């Protein structure tokens, strides 16, 4: 019997690539740079499953390609705003993602950015590396204390809750959140968290704001000029979710004109290109989208993709089906 053919758009950790090779006829993108739209269309015509990731825009055009053979798009990532879900639904193409396995590591990066921003760590490191550090001084690089402060979470899904646990249990932070859906009352109680009726209320109250909502048209520029102006001048904004939730131009103004004290970003509008204005700021910590970048997590993400396609090709419902 012919093996199922899968196209993997980027390199995966060796262990999960090896597992894929044992089970499937695998076409790998050896260059490990994003595939062109043309190459993705071709993959849709020649493979049974497409295994893309956040760097691949799986547009309506790609999904609607003539003579499509792909029946399942199994995303290597929890966020799936890179895939046109409506087009997939219309064409009957099943879509899966990789939830759960990256929750803690992404929440760690959110905490890391919160601490870096509060304690001006990026600025301090630049000072040391550039040879400008002249030694300890009582007024040098004074940041803000984190313990006991209020953390405002925009979105209250798995990653937000994991961050809230670290912040509340580890740093004694008060947790407030805003989310459209009804949160689990047991988790709210565990964290002694308070729900804000509006994003505006949360922004006014929090010392640290961390974004954990999905990207895409519904949340594009949710953090715009008007909302950033509601934050405390001493507040910090953390984004490990999706870049387009924050209006970069507005954030640059907020950081240069002192509407807020600092920001920590792991994701960017239009990444990997960065708004040049972000590069000259002192009060910002920048990371290259490494939320889930640990050995353990990336292997686990590959294993979730494998489980999802194995279920599908055995006639079962994949556990992580999103469309
Ligand atoms: C995801 O899975 O959505 C991340 O952004 C990639 O780590």
Mean of the pLDDT values across residues 144-157? Answer: 98
Domains of the chain by start residue, with CATH: 5-100+295-313 (3.40.50.720), 103-286 (3.40.50.720)
Decide: 52 in ligand 1 pocket, CB within 6 A.
no
Q: What string of H, E and C letters represents the secondary structure of 59-106? A: CHHHHCCCCCCCCEEECECCCCCCECHHHHHHHCCEEECCCCCCHHHH
Tens of pLDDT, residues 54-92: 999 999 999 999 999 999 999 999 999 999 999 999 999
Decide: 209 in ligand 1 pocket, CB within 6 A.
no
Decide: 77 in ligand 1 pocket, CB within 6 A.
yes
Mean of the pLDDT values across residues 195-206? Answer: 98
Q: What percent of the chain has pLDDT over 70?
A: 100
Cα separations (Å) of 68 from 63, 75, 80, 216, 228?
8, 18, 20, 25, 44
pLDDT of 104 higher than 90? yes
CA distance 34 to 18: 21
Q: Whose CA is nearest to atom 2 of ligand 1?
A: 77
Mean of the pLDDT values across residues 193-213? Answer: 98
Q: Which ligand 1 atom is nearest residue 242's CA?
A: 5
pTM, entire model: 0.97
Q: What percent of the chain has pLDDT over 90?
A: 98
Do 270 and 247 contact (CB within 8 A), yes or no? no
pLDDT of 1 higher than 80? no
- Cβ neighbours of 196 (radius 10 Å): 19
pLDDT of 107 higher than 80? yes
DSSP 167: I
Do 33 and 9 contact (CB within 8 A), yes or no? no
Separation of first and last alpha carbons in the chain: 29
Q: Whose CA is nearest to atom 6 of ligand 1?
A: 77
Mean of the pLDDT values across residues 227-249? Answer: 98
**Confidence label for 169 from pLDDT (cuts 50, 70 and 90):** very high
The residues, any chain, with a CB within 8 Å of residue 149's CB and separated by 6 or more, are 173, 174, 207, 208
pLDDT of 191 higher than 80? yes
212: buried, middle or exposed (CB in 10 Å: 19+, 13-18, 0-12)?
buried
Q: Which ligand 1 atom is nearest residue 293's CA?
A: 7
Rg over CA atoms, the chain: 21
User: What is the complex's ipTM, to 2 decimals?
Assistant: 0.94
Q: Which ligand 1 atom is nearest residue 240's CA?
A: 5
Q: Cα(291) to centroid of ligand 1, in Å?
A: 7
Sheet of 72-74: strands edge to edge?
A: 25-28, 5-8, 49-51, 72-74, 94-96
Mean of the pLDDT values across residues 253-279? Answer: 98
* Main-chain phi, psi angles of 181, to 5 degrees: -85, 170
Q: Which of 206, 212, 149, 154 is nearest to 179 (CA)?
A: 154
CA distance 203 to 187: 22
Decide: 243 in ligand 1 pocket, CB within 6 A.
no
Mean of the pLDDT values across residues 145-154? Answer: 98
DSSP 170: I
Cis peptide before 272 (omega within 30 of 0): yes
Active site residues: 242, 271, 289
Q: Cα(102) to centroid of ligand 1, in Å?
A: 8
Decide: 78 in ligand 1 pocket, CB within 6 A.
yes
Do 211 and 238 contact (CB within 8 A), yes or no? yes
Decide: 263 in ligand 1 pocket, CB within 6 A.
no
Decide: 301 in ligand 1 pocket, CB within 6 A.
no
Which residue of 10, 12, 51, 54 sits with most ligand 1 atoms within 8 Å of its CB, as the best mutation to test the pocket? 54
Q: Cα(247) to centroid of ligand 1, in Å?
A: 20
**Confidence label for 2 from pLDDT (cuts 50, 70 and 90):** confident
Mean pLDDT, the chain, whole residue set:
98
CA distance 49 to 69: 8
The DSSP annotation for 111-133 comes to HHHHHHHHTTHHHHHHHHHTT--
pLDDT of 217 higher than 80? yes
């Amino acid at each position: 019997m012919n093996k199922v053919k899968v196209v993997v758009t980027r390199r995966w950790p060796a262990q999960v690539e090896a597992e894929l090779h044992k089970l499937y006829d695998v076409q790998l993108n050896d260059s490990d740079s994003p595939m062109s739209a043309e190459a993705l269309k071709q993959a849709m015509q020649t493979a049974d499953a497409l295994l893309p990731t956040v760097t691949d825009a799986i547009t309506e055009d790609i999904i609607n390609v003539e003579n499509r053979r792909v029946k399942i798009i199994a995303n290597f990532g929890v966020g799936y705003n890179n895939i046109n879900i409506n087009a997939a639904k219309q064409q009957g193409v099943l879509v899966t993602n990789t939830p759960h396995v990256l929750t803690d590591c992404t929440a760690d990066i959110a905490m890391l950015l919160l601490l870096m921003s509060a304690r001006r760590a990026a600025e301090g490191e630049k000072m040391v590396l550039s040879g400008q550090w002249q030694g300890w001084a009582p007024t040098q690089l004074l940041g803000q204390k984190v313990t006991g402060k209020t953390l405002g979470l925009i979105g209250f899904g798995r990653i937000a809750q994991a961050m809230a646990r670290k912040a509340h249990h580890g740093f004694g932070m008060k947790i407030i959140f805003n989310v459209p859906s009804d949160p689990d009352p047991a988790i709210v109680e565990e964290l002694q968290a308070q729900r804000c009726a509006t994003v505006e209320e949360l922004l006014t109250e929090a010392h640290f704001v961390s974004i954990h909502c999905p990207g895409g048209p519904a949340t594009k520029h949710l953090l715009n000029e008007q909302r950033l102006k509601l934050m405390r001048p001493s507040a910090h904004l953390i984004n490990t979710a999706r870049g387009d939730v924050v209006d970069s131009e507005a954030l640059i103004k907020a950081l240069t004109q002192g509407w807020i004290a600092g920001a920590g970003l792991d994701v960017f509008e239009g990444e990997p290109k960065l708004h040049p204005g972000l590069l000259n700021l002192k009060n910002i910590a920048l990371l290259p989208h490494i939320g889930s970048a640990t050995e353990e997590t990336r292997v686990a993400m590959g294993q979730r993709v494998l489980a999802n396609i194995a279920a599908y090709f055995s006639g079962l419902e994949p556990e992580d089906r999103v469309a």
